[in-house]
Amino acid sequence: MAFNPELCRNESEVESKLIVQYLLPQLGYTPEAWHQEVAVGSIRLDFLAFAAQVIPFVIDANSPLSVVMEAKHPKQNLNNHVPRLRFYLTKLNVAYGLLTNGKEIRIYQKVDTDIQLIFQCFGKDVETKIRDIRALLGRNSLNEIPLKNNSVTPVAETANVTVPNISNNIFDTTRQNTMKTIAIYHNKGGVGKTTVAINLAAALSQKGKRVLLIDIDSQANSTFATGLVKFQFDEEDDLRDKNVYHILESGDFNFIQDIAQKYQYFNNPEIDIIPSHITLIEYQDKLNKIAASRARLVTKLKRVENNYDIVIIDTPPSRDLYAEVALIAADYLIIPSDLKPFANQGLPTVKSFVRQVNEYREVIGKSPINIIGVLPSKISTNAKFLQHTFPRQRDVISERYDLPLMESVIYDRTALSESMNQVLTVGELEYPDPKSIIKFAELKSSSQVSAEEFNVLAMEVLKKIGVN
């Protein structure tokens, strides 16, 4: 059967016409040797094909040879999906991964804790290159490689054995409880706090991390910016009775899994979001009278530490109860700042607030919060500013305020506001339809520079919190 990339107009057609109808048969994988939409814990694979199979299947150093195949929309840049493929191969100990959008086909091989590109061709050339692909990923070719586990039996020799349903969580994916919680806080408003929170969460998700975003600011900026506000009138408000306040009001009900929501068009992969609501202002006095409310987020996050790798908390620009709750719950703190005088003058107050919170953390048995650093954000791209003023602004942070300065920089780019201000028109009404900058860059190539800044930030954060 021939393959025509022009017939692949969406991700579903890349899956069906290129992978299912062409590649898998050409590579010798019969229907019982490959599986679609595979669930491995929190990981979701488009395709997993086996050269050899062992039952029961356990992911470890002796795993049987297999291939992950990921299909993307023809308009998507494959570079944006390499980090996630790296996570899949290294986390699951899978030797090879194929990444394609129909127009391009790439093959990667796992090398220790990284992956290496070993083959690349255009979709229109796949028929002339199929022998090369078969030599790398063909079922027969992989079966010729000596397996580490002598007990592994090729599928062809287990004809009477039913291949297990992989999507039913049969993999051994034991993981240590290493969930990290990061607060994004500054008591000065307008420094890009929400922009950092939502797009850092999106970038970490793209790198294979299971992310929970918590909005604990009554302005609900992160809630708006992640697309959860889908109502035009008060009577349609579905967040009033299901938001972060309900996490804090009681220790006996309204847990994270009960309140978390997601908006599927904000980011791919999706992230879980605990929304906020303007009514938080009304409830602050009530919560202030309940001492236990300060530690309830800590307690409820503890219950889901196996469900997430990283929690990002967007905080209010104040020293109120909600900011205190966030800093009590967090392991780490990022302080976004435009590095201008007013923002800098607020840094001593931030440090004082952190000391106050650390006293309470000590009472409940938590170690002091770890300050990752001040993150330069909303920074002008003006060349003269960057040459003369910006270096001096950076030096001030460590010299005058004795705070660490992060290496990453988030510049003030139009794409960031455009991504959050997308709208969806339904009849005569317009509804917010925001996108993370990571998702927006897939739709608008001019946004890729901004998306890359958040990818760099995500890598720095992962390094500083000790997460691979």
Domain for residue 173, yes or no? no
Task: Annotate 320-332 with DSSP letters as a single string.
Answer: SHHHHHHHHH-SE
Joined together, the tokens standing for residue 51 give 């050269």
Round to whole Å and give the CA distance between 210 and 255: 18
Domain for residue 389, yes or no? yes
Kind of pairing between the strands at 114-122 and 180-184: unpaired
* Orientation of helix 321-329 relative to helix 280-288, angle to 10°: 70
pTM of the model: 0.65
Task: Annotate 90-137 with DSSP letters as a single string.
Answer: HHHT-SEEEEE-SSEEEEEEEETTEEEEEEEEEGGGHHHHHHHHHHHH
- For the segment 356-383, the average pLDDT, to the nearest whole number, is 95
Q: What is the DSSP letter of 241?
A: T
* Orientation of helix 321-329 relative to helix 347-363, angle to 10°: 60
pLDDT, tens only, 132-151: 999 999 988 887 654 443 33
pLDDT, tens only, 333-357: 999 999 999 999 999 999 999 999 9
pLDDT top residue among 146 and 387: 387
pLDDT, tens only, 287-300: 998 888 999 999 99
84 and 27 in a common domain: yes
77 CA to centre of own chain: 17
How many domains, the chain? Answer: 2
Final residue before a domain boundary, out of 142, 168, 194: 168
213 and 163 in a common domain: no
pLDDT, tens only, 79-89: 888 988 998 89
pLDDT at residue 26, rounded to an integer: 92
12 and 153 in a common domain: yes
Residues in the chain: 468
Domain for residue 175, yes or no? no
CB 4 within 8 A of CB 127: no
400 and 307 in a common domain: yes
Domain for residue 174, yes or no? no
Domain for residue 348, yes or no? yes
160 and 191 in a common domain: no
CB 450 within 8 A of CB 202: no
Residue 78 belongs to domain spanning: 5-168
Closest alpha carbon to 254 in 263, 265, 243, 268: 243
Cα angle 177-182-183, degrees, rounded to a multiple of 5: 145
136 and 71 in a common domain: yes
Burial degree of 373 (CB within 10 A; 0-12, 13-18, 19+): buried
CB 420 within 8 A of CB 225: yes
